Amino acid sequence: MSESRARNRQVLKGTVVSTAMDRTAVVEVQTVSAHPVYRKRHRTSRKYYVHDEENMCNVGDLVRIAETRPLSKTKRWRLLEVVEKAR
């Protein structure tokens, strides 16, 4: 049963913008969407608070995050992996 629930969870890719908190990182995810009539594409961004148990993220890293149960007032995402380290 837990496998079927885990399959429906959203997975996003974004850039770490802050690691000032302990075991928490702020990840900015950019999405590109098209205007419904004119089809002009525009970029929107959203920030997510991510649980980072080992404090392995650094600012500028490209990471994958997954939706999870509420861990605090604002944290609803957890870190899956660091895709690319910042230079």
- Angstrom CA distances, 63 to 2, 13, 40, 82, stand at 24, 6, 28, 4
pLDDT band at 7 (very low <50, low <70, confident <90, very high): confident
In this structure, what is the dihedral angle of CA atoms 74, 77, 81, 85, given to the nearest 10 degrees?
Answer: -30
Tokens matching residue 1: 């049963």
Task: Please name each of the domains of the chain with its CATH number.
Answer: 2-84 (2.40.50.140)
Q: Are 79 and 63 in contact (CB under 8 A)?
A: yes
pLDDT digits (tens, 9 = 90+) for 48-83: 999 999 999 999 999 999 999 999 999 999 999 999
**pLDDT exceeds cutoff 60 at 8:** yes
